[in-house]
Copies of this chain bind each other. A is one copy, B any other.
C-alpha cells in the first residue's frame, strides 16, 4: 500500500484526499517509480476543477504528470532503466491514465528521463515541464533566433521564468509582462530585459515602446482571453503568438485581419514536444546542456509535503508564486 492523492468529485482544492492505495506492478512499457518530489502545474488544478481541455473520465481520479524519483521496477519490454536509477517524469500522458501525486507511481517508460547527478529531487521535479514547454514553443516551433524580441505573459510562472532563460541562452531579448508592480523587480533580476506592468501600461504601447516601434517576433501567452488582441497589436510582421494556457478563463478572439495580417496565432501544448520522440530527444539535450552550462537555473518557489497537498493547490491557484511549486513525496523504498 502506498499513500496516493485522489479525488472523488470535481471541485476546489479540498476535494483532494491522501489515501492508501495498492499501486501494483508495472505493465508492458511501464515503470514503477518511487516518487521523491512532484512538480505542480496549472493543468492539474484545471483537471481537478473540471476545466481542463480533457475531462476527468472516472472517479476516484488521480492527478499529476511531473515528478522526480527512483526506478523501483520495470515492466516487460522496458529497456534502458534499472532499479535504483534517478529519473524524472515528464508530462506526456493523460491524467486519466496515470498520475504521479503519491509515494509511488506507475508511468509509461516513454515519459521517463534519466536525471543528471547534479539535479536533486526537488529541482528534478521542477525542470522539465517549464524548460521543455518554453523550448518547444519558442525554439522547436517558433524558430527563435538571436536578436528576436520575445514577450512572455504571466512571466512569474515556472514556464515564464524558464522562457526568460531560454531566450537569453539563444541571444534573444525577453520582455516580461506582469499584472502588478510587485513582481517587476524580481523579473528583471531573473533576466527580463524589460517588464510591462499590465495594470499600468497598455501592452501594445509597451511592446512598441520597448522595440522602437518594430514589434515583437514571438509571444508566449499563458493567459489567452481578450488580452490577445493587445498582444497581437505588438507583433512585428511575421510575428507569432503562441497560446499555451488559459489563465483568464475567458473566450479568446482572433484579432481583426488588420491586426493579424502577416501574423499568426498558434495553439500549443507541451505534449506536442514530449510525445514526439525526435522532438523530446532534442528537448532533453537542450535542457540538459543548459543545466550543465549554468544557463538554466530552475526557480523553485515553495516546497510542500504530500500531507499539505490541499494547501499546495490553494497556493498554486493564488497566482502569488514566483517559480515552481514542488511537493515532496518521501516515498519509502
Residue numbers of A with Cβ under 8 A of B are: 53-54, 224, 228, 237, 240, 243-246, 251-269, 271-272
Contact = CB atoms under 8 A, between A and B. Distances in A.
A260 B260 CA distance: 17
Contacts of A258: 53-54
A256 B254 CA distance: 11
A92 to B, nearest CB: 14
B272 A267 contact: no
B267 A264 contact: yes
B254 A253 contact: yes
Given A53-B256, A254-B254, A261-B271, 7 more contacts: A53-B261, A237-B272, A243-B257, A252-B256, A254-B267, A255-B267, A262-B269
A54 B256 CA distance: 12
A170 B126 CA distance: 46
A268 B261 contact: yes
A265 to B, nearest CB: 5
Contacts of A243: 254, 257, 260
A261 B268 CA distance: 5
A293 B176 CA distance: 53
* A interface, over-half SS: mixed
A263 to B, nearest CB: 6
* Highest count of chain B CB atoms <10 Å: which of A261, A271, A272: A261
B269 A261 contact: yes
A246 B257 CA distance: 8
A244 to B, nearest CB: 8
Contacts of A268: 261-262
16 contacts: A53-B257, A53-B261, A237-B272, A252-B254, A252-B256, A254-B254, A257-B267, A257-B269, A260-B265, A261-B267, A261-B268, A262-B268, A263-B267, A264-B264, A264-B265, A265-B265
Contacts of A240: 264
Contacts of A264: 240, 264-267
A271 B237 CA distance: 12
B263 A259 contact: no
B259 A267 contact: yes
A224 B253 CA distance: 11
Contacts of A259: 267
Nearest to A225: B254
Contacts of A224: 254, 257
A62 B258 CA distance: 21
A260 B267 contact: yes
Nearest to A263: B267
A252 B267 CA distance: 16
